[in-house]
Amino acid sequence: MTLESENISADNDTHLDGVLPVSPELVAEIETALANGDKDQIDFLLEPLHSADVADIFEQLGDNDRRLLTSFIGSDMEPEVLSELDDSTLEDVISEMDNLDVARAITQMESDDAVHVLGYMDEDEQREIIAALPIEDRLAVEEGLSYPEDSAGRLLQRNLVSVPGRWTVGKVIEYFRTEENLPTEFYEVFIVDPSHHPIGIVALNKIIRTNREIKIRDIMEEAPTVVPVHMDQEEVAYLFSQYDLTTIGVVDDSGRLIGMITVDDVVDVIEEEAEEDLMRMAGVQETDISESVFEASKNRVIWLVVNLATAILASMVIALFDATIQQMVALAILMPIVASMGGNAGTQTMTVTVRAIATRDLTSSNVKRIIIRETTIALVNGVVIALLIGGLSWLWFQDALLGGVMGVAMVINMIMAGLAGILIPVALDKMDIDPALASSIFVTTVTDVIGFFAFLGLAAVVLL
Amino acid sequence: MTLESENISADNDTHLDGVLPVSPELVAEIETALANGDKDQIDFLLEPLHSADVADIFEQLGDNDRRLLTSFIGSDMEPEVLSELDDSTLEDVISEMDNLDVARAITQMESDDAVHVLGYMDEDEQREIIAALPIEDRLAVEEGLSYPEDSAGRLLQRNLVSVPGRWTVGKVIEYFRTEENLPTEFYEVFIVDPSHHPIGIVALNKIIRTNREIKIRDIMEEAPTVVPVHMDQEEVAYLFSQYDLTTIGVVDDSGRLIGMITVDDVVDVIEEEAEEDLMRMAGVQETDISESVFEASKNRVIWLVVNLATAILASMVIALFDATIQQMVALAILMPIVASMGGNAGTQTMTVTVRAIATRDLTSSNVKRIIIRETTIALVNGVVIALLIGGLSWLWFQDALLGGVMGVAMVINMIMAGLAGILIPVALDKMDIDPALASSIFVTTVTDVIGFFAFLGLAAVVLL
């Protein structure tokens, strides 16, 4: 670790900017060294850094500099730097590296990291690199890749510590001291039966604190948390966070222990999953920031085109009332307010609903109550906003009836927004469609269409 | 743990619904038992559950049932259930419990949990409960509460394991076996100098694997990661995730080690922080789902009123062109499309920017490059959408010039949306305002105002 305790306590700085090693100045120095082709200077600058910080530098450099840096240090790239890179930077860096260098880095990784890195290559590259691996690594990696993306199988580390329950604590400690193939870090030991089914788990601190003669099965926690190898990583992450776990065992279809997942691997998954919802609701990819301009444009424009269709639909509703608008231009001036407020209120309800579904706070036990709750909130806030904008419209256009129409249309649209905001994500979830991905399109369509229709329709009936 | 490995491997179910103990059926059974006042049945149903699952049940029950359940089990409430509750349910449950019962639960908690629970009481309640605590707990809790909310001081666990560097591994193990006041769980041991400044850290598995005669300082990792007690929890979480840590030491202003934070406590913070951005961007509180209808309405309506003001601003722009619209109603039909597409494109850029700022992927090193990138994407997508909608408008209204105006206005608005989407959050961040909280208001104001102005203004000049 490069974080110096003296620095922090000395200036009592509680902001990370002065503390983290990757400063804008450092990045600028590296850019200069790259421009000068000064490899020694680059080595000098990167040498003291943690691999996660080196990865950050790769992510912050422009495309050209990134390629230059890769070609400079490619042949002695730390394996940890590769496994810390974000997805699209990883693709970029790997495609620039020599296959043999990638293979060398991969053999030095834990199996989960190796599978993660290989997962971002196209099949041809994968095959070439796997062929360059030693046989035992090759089998482990091929099996890892056979599991679906985002499953427990992709996260698992094959190298775990498991012992039979009849061993004494002393024998277990002896085993730790003599066995060379243990993981570099582990916090817990699995107890397995003769057919390698997990029957318990013991934390290291408990082993150290226990008398050497005692049998390990007498101090184990029974029924360890294990998950099937195909479980989605989001659900694995949920178990860690729900039960404050540090280690989960992974079992194959016959219930045999084939690996473990530790909490540090899951921290990234948890961040990813919450971020995914945010990004999907706005119609962007999670990796957008490090994608090429072409990729990002392409991914975003799809969403924009879908939204364009819904905007056109709303315009067709307006077109139904063109004669009404011609008679009273005030309607054209006020109508976007109804649609926009409905959209905002709908987005509030929808965001709460999407997160509540993701965090399992919204279940079939309480969905009815939450629907009533959201409708009540929509009604209350609809009335508040309706009184405000109804009054303002009256004053603006000196027309009490117009103010009334505005207010009533607003209440109608806000209630519809609330209903759409909860019912649409719940329905999508029931249909196994990710509510974060599709809800906002449907919700804004509802609020636009209903908003324009309620306001212009009421106006046509009441005012003309 | 109540998760049975046999169940999982037997039916090979990779979905959690059948696996997690809190099912809608269980909640319904508890509701029935509450209605019948059947305390035995409630005890029978809750007894096999993990405290995190009992907390979930509290969160899923309606207000009345929650109060009933609290009064039923209040006097033997597990301390862990309280510390697992979400914020507003916790407030609810505590206010229903007897102060003495709360005090009893708090004395059984680790110091970080105790401070967390007390943090959600009003000052009078806090004082009463602190007065009921034994003296040593009282001092620890009072000190914890003296640190700002969301700081490292609120997360830290005072009880940690620290030993002097001159001790041998054998002596350290002996200390573990005989010392009674150790934390129930720990993964690492701090090495401290005589004035209790942290000088190193050793993982337990390294201690077990090392010969007993070796001095502990010879196997320690030097410069352990430590943070000052006032550091914001978001930055603490960032360090855990950036450096894959399991334990961070917390030091006071003079650099003395006063506690530790472990990764399982930080998992919740990481979830919270990513969720906070999502919720704030939509104008809702993070705790919305478990707030009362009144609280939630109040918190949401503030956002709606601010949005109403920006919508009125946009309407005032339309009002400038009322004569133009009266001459050509097609403008009223098409104008919401320009504003809406600008809003969507602006939200895409803004979401990417807000997250990149939060995850430190956007820094002053790369901000210029990202601005150019976003403007390019906006231009490319603006042209694509402009061609589409320009052509459609031409066909719809049989007016090539109208199509042209639509297209040009769209390109202008999409570029402004891209610029607003990046410049506004960056500027807010520079001013130390949370970009997630305020960006979307400003971005949609820009896209509405520019959208209407560009389209109607061009139309007035070109078409009439």
- Cβ of B5 within 8 Å of Cβ of A352? The answer is no
DSSP letters, B352-410, are: HHHHHHHTT-S-TTTHHHHHHHHHHHHHHHHHHHHHHHHHHHHHHHT-HHHHHHHHHHH
Structure tokens, B372: 């150019």
Interface A:B, Cβ pairs < 8 A: 432
Which of A17, A16, A21 is CA-nearest to residue A2? Answer: A21
**Integer angstrom CA distances of residue A463 from A318, A331, A339, A391:** 16, 10, 20, 17
* Residue B17 pLDDT level (bands cut at 50, 70, 90): low
Q: Which residue ranges does chain B devote to CATH 1.10.357.20?
A: 292-462
Q: Nearest-CA residue of chain B relative to A278?
A: B278
Question: Per-residue pLDDT for B269 more than 70?
Answer: yes
Q: Report pTM.
A: 0.84
Q: Is A246 near chain B, with CB under 8 Å?
A: yes
How confident is the model at residue B376, as a pLDDT? 96
Question: Per-residue pLDDT for B12 more than 60?
Answer: no
How confident is the model at residue B16, as a pLDDT? 55
Q: Is B350 near chain A, with CB under 8 Å?
A: yes
Q: Which residue ranges does chain A devote to CATH 3.10.580.10?
A: 162-281
Mean of pLDDT values over B268-289 = 84
Q: Which candidate from B239, B304, B340 shows the least CB-CB separation from A341?
A: B304
Mean of pLDDT values over B263-285 = 85
- Cβ of A246 within 8 Å of Cβ of B360? The answer is no
Structure tokens, A128: 């070439």
- Cβ of A52 within 8 Å of Cβ of B14? The answer is no
Q: Nearest-CA residue of chain A relative to B387?
A: A305
Q: Which residues of A touch B398 (CB under 8 A)?
A: none
B215 to chain A, closest Cα gap in Å? 16
Question: Per-residue pLDDT for B180 more than 90?
Answer: no
A277 to chain B, closest Cα gap in Å? 8
Q: Nearest-CA residue of chain B relative to A355?
A: B275
CATH of domain B5-150: 1.25.60.10
Gap between the terminal Cα atoms of chain B: 75
How confident is the model at residue A9, as a pLDDT? 36
Q: Is A334 near chain B, with CB under 8 Å?
A: yes
**Integer angstrom CA distances of residue B391 from A23, A312, B19, B345, B410:** 48, 13, 54, 20, 12
How confident is the model at residue A427, as a pLDDT? 96
Superfamily of domain A162-281, CATH level 4: CBS-domain (3.10.580.10)
Question: Per-residue pLDDT for B1 more than 60?
Answer: no
Mean of pLDDT values over B34-52 = 92
Gap between the Cα atoms of A216 and A171, Å rounded: 9
Gap between the Cα atoms of B209 and A180, Å rounded: 10
Q: How far is CA A127 from the centre of its chain?
A: 29
Q: Which residues of A touch B332 (CB under 8 A)?
A: 318, 322, 325, 329, 332, 335
Backbone angles phi, psi at B447, to 5 degrees: -70, -35
Q: At what angle do helices B367-397 and A293-320 cross, to 10 degrees?
A: 40
Which of A458, A454, A463 is CA-nearest to residue A314? Answer: A454
Tell me which of 1.10.357.20, 3.60.20.10, 3.40.50.150, 3.40.50.720 is the CATH number of domain A292-462.
Answer: 1.10.357.20
Residues 6+ apart with CB under 8 A from A298: none
Q: What share of chain A is helix, strand, coil (3-state, %, to 5)?
A: 70, 10, 25
Q: Which residues of A touch B444 (CB under 8 A)?
A: 340
How confident is the model at residue B95, as a pLDDT? 86
How confident is the model at residue B13, as a pLDDT? 37
pLDDT tens digit string along B115-168?
Answer: 888 887 888 888 888 888 888 888 888 888 999 988 999 988 888 899 999 999
- Cβ of A284 within 8 Å of Cβ of B348? The answer is yes
How confident is the model at residue B11, as a pLDDT? 37
CATH of domain A5-155: 1.25.60.10
* Residue B8 pLDDT level (bands cut at 50, 70, 90): very low
B101 to chain A, closest Cα gap in Å? 24
Buried b (16+ CB within 10 A) or exposed e, A81-106: bbbbbbbbbbbbbbeebeeebbbbbb
Mean of pLDDT values over B72-97 = 87
- Cβ of B12 within 8 Å of Cβ of A230? The answer is yes
DSSP H or E segment with residue A73? helix A63-73
How confident is the model at residue A6, as a pLDDT? 37
* Cα torsion B120, B123, B124, B129: sign: positive
Question: Per-residue pLDDT for B21 more than 80?
Answer: no
Q: Which of residues 272-291 of A touch B (CB under 8 A)?
A: 274-275, 277-279, 281-284, 288-290
Backbone angles phi, psi at A197, to 5 degrees: -85, 135
- Give me the numbers of helices (H) and strands (E) for chain B, helices first please: 22, 7
Gap between the Cα atoms of A280 and A187, Å rounded: 36
Say if residues B97 and B74 touch (Cβ distance below 8 Å). yes
- Cβ of B24 within 8 Å of Cβ of A235? The answer is no
Q: How far is CA B18 from the centre of its chain?
A: 27
Which amino acid is it at B240?
F
Q: Which residues of B touch A238 (CB under 8 A)?
A: 16
Q: Nearest-CA residue of chain A relative to B322?
A: A329
- Cβ of B270 within 8 Å of Cβ of A266? The answer is no
- Cβ of A204 within 8 Å of Cβ of B204? The answer is yes
Q: Which candidate from A28, A240, A352 shows the least CB-CB separation from B365?
A: A28
ipTM: 0.84
Q: Which of A241-255, B38-52, B391-405 has the highest mean pLDDT?
A: B391-405
pLDDT tens digit string along A425-446?
Answer: 999 999 999 898 889 999 999 9
Rg (Cα) of chain B, in Å, rounded? 29
- Cβ of B373 within 8 Å of Cβ of A293? The answer is yes
**How many CB atoms sit inside 10 A of residue A219's CB?**
17
**How many CB atoms sit inside 10 A of residue B222's CB?**
10
Which of A212, A202, A214 is CA-nearest to residue B170? Answer: A212
A123 to chain B, closest Cα gap in Å? 27
Q: Is A225 near chain B, with CB under 8 Å?
A: yes
Backbone angles phi, psi at B286, to 5 degrees: -60, -30
DSSP H or E segment with residue A201? strand A198-203
How confident is the model at residue A73, as a pLDDT? 85
Structure tokens, A293: 């301009």
Q: Which of B161, B267, B410 to mutate to test the interface with A (most CBs of A within 10 A)?
A: B267
Which amino acid is it at A273?
E
Q: Which residues of A touch B308 (CB under 8 A)?
A: 337, 341, 385, 388-389
CA angle B141-B143-B149, nearest 5°?
90
Please list the ranges in chain A whose pLDDT falls under 50.
1-15
Structure tokens, A207: 């082993």
DSSP B197: -
Average pLDDT in chain B:
89
- Cβ of A263 within 8 Å of Cβ of B268? The answer is no
Say if residues B175 and B163 touch (Cβ distance below 8 Å). yes
Q: Is A430 near chain B, with CB under 8 Å?
A: no
- Cβ of B355 within 8 Å of Cβ of A381? The answer is no
